[in-house]
Copies of this chain bind each other. A is one copy, B any other.
Amino acid sequence: MKSGKMLIASRGYTSVGVAELCDHAGVRKGSFYYFFPSKSELAVAVIDSFWQDFDESLTLALEADLSPLARIEAFLDQIFVRHRDTCRSTGNVRGCLLGNLTLELSATENEIRQCLADALGRFGQRLAATISEAMEVGELPKGDADLLADELVAYVEGMILLAKARNDASVIERLRSGALALLGGPRRARRSRARN
């Protein structure tokens, strides 16, 4: 599983073969198919595992002892730092596993697509709850928190896509300003000097 996650995160789903997965993990093909009757079941397990890690980092940011809007900003900064660090250590902006697999596979692998749609939906729900709180305390204008959360998920995934196309994580550093505009709040850039 760990091998699958690493290989799929760095190279995508289709280009990684079962033989290579088994070599990397040091297991025999028979064992692989015992746990994952098909490669797509491995993909689903990899997505679930990615979601669990991601959900933990969402919790860290969205349940911090800050105002609701400051928690959303902390989450956006955290996304940038994560991608910048991966780029520093691997030389590549790898992108978000959910976004990568969505655009690689959704039109052909329905089971995987559904799993990705669910994870992106949970991502949106987590954000919607905090957006609602920000509306209640007057940090954001009242509106449809679920729709705005959807738009924010799309914007985050789109900025990561642009960073990956340019292989330049600094694109994601600008996430916060546009995200706040999308939510109807004040544009505020990341204080990069203080936090880098």
Contacts and interface: CB of A to CB of B under 8 A. Distances in A.
Interface of A: 10-12, 14-15, 92-95, 98-100, 102-108, 113, 116-117, 120, 147, 150-151, 153-159, 161-162, 164-167, 171, 174, 178, 181-182, 184
Copy number in this complex?
A: 2
A66 B102 CA distance: 36
The A interface, classified by DSSP as helix, strand, loop or mixed, is helix
Given A102-B161, A103-B104, 19 more contacts: A11-B107, A15-B108, A93-B106, A98-B165, A100-B103, A102-B103, A104-B104, A106-B164, A116-B165, A151-B155, A154-B159, A154-B161, A155-B182, A156-B158, A157-B158, A157-B161, A157-B162, A181-B182, A181-B184
